[in-house]
Amino acid sequence: MGSLDGKVALVTGSSRGIGRAVALRFAGEGARVVLNCRRSLEAAREVADRIEVSHPGASLIAQGDVSSREQVEGVVDAAVRTFGRLDILVCNAGIAGRGLRLLEIRDDDWRTMIETTLTGAFFCARAVVPHMLKAGRGRIITISSTSGITGGTSGAHYAAAKGGLISLTKALSAELAPRGITVNSIAPSKIETEMLRDAPEKEQLLRKIPVGRFGTPQEIAALALFLASEDAGYITGETIVASGGYR
């Protein structure tokens, strides 16, 4: 028996990195998982294939851009039509900040960052919450960043989007807690994903992490699993930092 048996989870941006790890971990704990991606269909199919090997019928690929309200509603409709319910939402979709300085950030850079990371989470929550209200329970988990707390080094647009995600989490948690829905955020830092692998200052960053290594997507997935479980029913409105002590 898994801790998520019978549950259905939508994980945005789940074709790679943290989202991929969350989807695989949730499926391993008995959840049926809706895999969302914008363009990376081949990568999403690889995740679905891995799930189907041991959990036949437990995955659904729902392609869609979270910055589009219509596409988000289409993803949610497909999930409910296929599995009949939605219990867990993990808002993970986002883009890298690339460390741009203020005067390097173009209008399109700002707009795309905010629309994908922050507006996307808003659209997803607004589409999913009615189904959770009907069930009388639910779990929403946003994947933010320590940059949303400290400002970080990935650019003002990235910090603003991730900080806004933390504030959205707090607002939704207060509104939805009386209805049985918890809303929490995970703020990772220096996780071994494509964004970090491409960073030119990678070795310098490593020397600044007290635990002496980068985090893994699987460690963030384990934290998401706890927040999605029944054991986390008294935790809401929180932002949990996973940084290896990096500040």
Distance CA 72, CA 120 (A): 8
- Torsion-angle region of 83 (φ positive above 0: left; ψ -120 to 50: alpha; else: beta): alpha
Give catalytic status of residue 158 as yes or no: yes
Predicted model pTM: 0.95
Walk along the chain (247 residues) and give the pLDDT tens digit of each residue. Answer: 799 999 999 999 999 999 999 999 999 999 999 999 998 999 999 999 999 999 999 999 999 999 999 999 999 999 999 999 999 999 999 988 888 999 999 999 999 999 999 999 999 999 999 999 999 999 999 999 999 999 998 999 999 999 999 999 999 999 999 999 999 999 999 998 876 666 667 788 889 999 999 999 999 999 999 999 999 999 999 999 999 999 8
What are the tokens at 44? Answer: 């999403």
CATH of 8-242, one of 3.40.50.720, 3.40.50.920, 3.40.50.1970, 1.20.1730.10: 3.40.50.720
The 10 Å CB-count burial string (b at 16+, else e) for 148-159 is bbbebebbbbbb
Catalytic residue among 26, 158, 214, 246: 158
- Please state the domain extents for the chain: 8-242
